[in-house]
Chain A
Amino acid sequence: GAGVSQSPSNKVTEKGKDVELRCDPISGHTALYWYRQRLGQGLEFLIYFQGNSAPDKSGLPSDRFSAERTGESVSTLTIQRTQQEDSAVYLCASSSLRGSEQYFGPGTRLTVT
């Protein structure tokens, strides 16, 4: 595709429910990244994929967070038993090479009520 796409664009969920956020990277990009942006703050790194492997999961805030990538393409970020502090914009980015510039999607705004 022309750019990184994410779905849904907005998600409102009740506390305790599970949510899945999807990212479609730019075709051919081998590296994929997830970040979280809380209101009024900078971006917080969550996880990085090289191909389908995740060599760096250091940013995942708790074991309620997990992510996978298949076919060196689509990635899904899953948050189990959502909490109000999970409310944020979740941004996905991809890059053609490890270390090169990252291209960001529009984000998914998650609101936990």
Chain B
Amino acid sequence: AQSVTQPDIHITVSEGASLELRCNYSYGATPYLFWYVQSPGQGLQLLLKYFSGDTLVQGIKGFEAEFKRSQSSFNLRKPSVHWSDAAEYFCAVGGGDKLIFGTGTRLQVFP
């Protein structure tokens, strides 16, 4: 079955600290992988995507993610978190039609 697991429901970090949000997926074929961010009251904004090629992808706002096929993972990282990064982050997998989303990780940033 196709699924996405985000094991961390809630993460709290201090401003300036590094961040890694975990994402594991189950998908029968080569997946397309996405990270979206949702700020309070806002729609979803695409941070980055992986379709093929280089397994380390760069996104907007200083985020990056690494596709590891052997681990079925697509973890999101940022070296130094800003207070404005506080939001809900969703990992998603797809192969041509619908996207399958994880349940999200809520990021809280302390000054």
Across the interface, do A56 and B101 meet the contact criterion of CB distance under 8 Å?
no
Instruction: State A59–B46 Cα separation when bound (angstroms).
Output: 22
Contact of A101 among B34, B95, B97, B103 (CB under 8 A): B34
Instruction: State A44–B100 Cα separation when bound (angstroms).
Output: 8
A1 located at the interface, meaning its Cβ lies under 8 Å from any Cβ of chain B in the complex = no
- Identity of the chain B residue whose Cβ is nearest the Cβ of A41 in the assembled complex: B103
Across the interface, do B101 and A98 meet the contact criterion of CB distance under 8 Å?
no
Across the interface, do B102 and A42 meet the contact criterion of CB distance under 8 Å?
yes
A71 located at the interface, meaning its Cβ lies under 8 Å from any Cβ of chain B in the complex = no
A103 located at the interface, meaning its Cβ lies under 8 Å from any Cβ of chain B in the complex = yes
In chain A between 79 and 108, which residues have their CB closer than 8 angstroms to a CB of chain B?
91, 93, 98-99, 101-107
In chain A between 30 and 49, which residues have their CB closer than 8 angstroms to a CB of chain B?
33, 35, 41-45, 48
> Which B residues touch A44, using CB under 8 A?
101
Across the interface, do B97 and A59 meet the contact criterion of CB distance under 8 Å?
no
Across the interface, do B99 and A102 meet the contact criterion of CB distance under 8 Å?
yes
Contact of A103 among B42, B46, B94, B102 (CB under 8 A): B46
Q: What's the interface size class on A, roughly?
A: 20 to 34
Q: 1/0 contact trace for B49-62 toward A, CB 8 Å?
A: 10000000000000
B17 located at the interface, meaning its Cβ lies under 8 Å from any Cβ of chain A in the complex = no
- Identity of the chain A residue whose Cβ is nearest the Cβ of B44 in the assembled complex: A104
- Identity of the chain A residue whose Cβ is nearest the Cβ of B100 in the assembled complex: A45
Across the interface, do A42 and B46 meet the contact criterion of CB distance under 8 Å?
no
Contact of B96 among A43, A45, A99, A107 (CB under 8 A): A99
B25 located at the interface, meaning its Cβ lies under 8 Å from any Cβ of chain A in the complex = no
> Which B residues touch A101, using CB under 8 A?
34, 46, 49
Sorted from nearest, which 8 A-B pairs have the closest CB atoms? Answer: A104-B44, A99-B96, A45-B98, A42-B103, A43-B101, A42-B101, A106-B43, A104-B43
Beyond known contacts A42-B101, A56-B97, A93-B44: 9 more, CB 8 A cutoff: A42-B90, A43-B92, A43-B99, A44-B101, A91-B43, A98-B97, A102-B46, A104-B43, A106-B42
Query: Could you list 6 A-B pairs, sorted by A, with CB under 8 Å?
Result: A43-B99, A93-B44, A98-B97, A102-B99, A103-B46, A107-B43
